[in-house]
Amino acid sequence: MRHHCLLLVSLVLVSYAARSESALGGWSPIKDVNDSHVAEIANYALSEYDKRSGAKLTLVKVVKGETQVVSGTNYRLVLKAKDGSATASYEAIVWEKPWLHFMNLTSFKPLH
């Protein structure tokens, strides 16, 4: 009887792990794109892009965003930004490891 209980518990744990593992690496929507931390990530993306490209973009708003759990968190944000008087949409991906105070802009591209 004890072996049957251990087997049952093992099966439950394996099925839970399999479900959790399939969720890892997937993108999840950010519920509140107006959150101050999301704005911090967006402003970091723009300032880093400006440094690399010589552009002078100003954040208008975060339109939408998603997160992906990796070794840290990837943020994929759709931003509206001004370049002078012209406003355009961009997609930025920022990798963050908050426990190391680390951020890296891994992708930044205009959307059409």
In a domain, 11, yes or no: no
The pLDDT of 103-109, averaged and rounded, is 98
Q: What is the CATH number of the domain that holds 77?
A: 3.10.450.10
User: Which residues constitute the domain of residue 44?
Assistant: 25-110
Of all residues in the chain, the percent with pLDDT exceeding 70 is 79
pLDDT attached to residue 25:
77
In a domain, 43, yes or no: yes
pLDDT averaged over every residue in the chain: 85
Number of domains composing the chain = 1
Whole-model pTM over 0.75: yes
CA atoms of 58 and 54, how far apart (whole Å): 13
The pLDDT of 58-63, averaged and rounded, is 97
In a domain, 17, yes or no: no
pLDDT attached to residue 1:
56
Cβ-defined contacts of 61-65 (< 8 Å, 24+)? 62/33, 62/34, 62/38, 63/33, 63/89, 64/29, 64/30, 64/33, 65/29, 65/30, 65/33, 65/38
